[in-house]
Amino acid sequence: MFDHLILRYSKYLRAVWRANVSLNRIDELVRHFLLQLKMRALGLLFSLAFAERSPLEARDGAFWLDGEKITLVSGSIHYFRVPNEYWLDRLTKLKYAGLNTVELYVSWNLHEPYSGEFNFSGDLDVVRFIEMAGELGLHVLFRPGPYICAEWEWGGHPYWLLHDTDMKVRTTYPGYLEAVEKFYSELFGRVNHLMYRNGGPIIAVQIENEYAGFADALEIGPLDPGFLTWLRQTIKDQQCEELLFTSDGGWDFYKYELEGDPYGLNFDDVLRADFWLNILENNQPGKPKMVMEWWSGWFDFWGYHHQGTTADSFEENLRAILSQNASVNYYMFHGG
Query: What would the pLDDT profile of 132-191 be if each residue is shown by its tens digit?
Result: 999 999 999 999 999 999 999 999 999 999 999 999 999 999 999 999 999 999 999 999
* Cα separation values, 162 from 178, 185, 263, Å: 14, 21, 31
Position 223 scores a pLDDT of: 74
Closest to 290 (Cα-Cα) out of 334, 332, 325: 325
Q: Is 68 exposed, middle or buried (0-12, 13-18, 19+ CB in 10 A)?
A: exposed
- Write down the mean pLDDT value for the chain: 86
Closest to 142 (Cα-Cα) out of 74, 64, 212: 74
pLDDT in tens, 83-131: 999 999 999 999 999 999 999 999 999 999 999 999 999 999 999 999 9
Asked whether 110 and 135 are in contact (CB, 8 A), the reply is: no
List, in order, residues 6 or more apart from 79 with CB less than 8 Å away: 87, 104, 123, 124, 126, 129, 335
**Would the CA dihedral through 95, 98, 101, 105 be positive or negative?**
negative
pTM: 0.83
Following CA atoms 292, 297, 301, 303 in sequence, which dihedral angle do they give, to the nearest 10 degrees?
170
State the helix-helix crossing angle for 87-96 and 126-135, rounded to 10 degrees. Answer: 40
Cα(298)–Cα(317) distance, integer angstroms: 16
pLDDT in tens, 199-224: 999 999 999 999 888 766 555 555 78
Active site members = 210, 293
Asked whether 148 and 107 are in contact (CB, 8 A), the reply is: yes
Q: What is the mean pLDDT of residues 53-71?
A: 96
Position 307 scores a pLDDT of: 81
State the helix-helix crossing angle for 174-191 and 227-237, rounded to 10 degrees. Answer: 30
* Cα separation values, 188 from 143, 208, 265, Å: 12, 15, 25
First to last CA, the chain: 46
The SS3 call for residue 117 is: strand
State the helix-helix crossing angle for 273-283 and 311-322, rounded to 10 degrees. Answer: 30
List, in order, residues 6 or more apart from 4 with CB less than 8 Å away: none
Band of pLDDT at residue 299, cut at 50, 70 and 90: confident
Q: Is 213 exposed, middle or buried (0-12, 13-18, 19+ CB in 10 A)?
A: middle
Position 207 scores a pLDDT of: 96
Q: What angle do CA 333, 256, 69 make, to 5 degrees?
A: 50
Count Cα neighbours of 317 within 13 Å in the Cβ-side half-sphere. 22
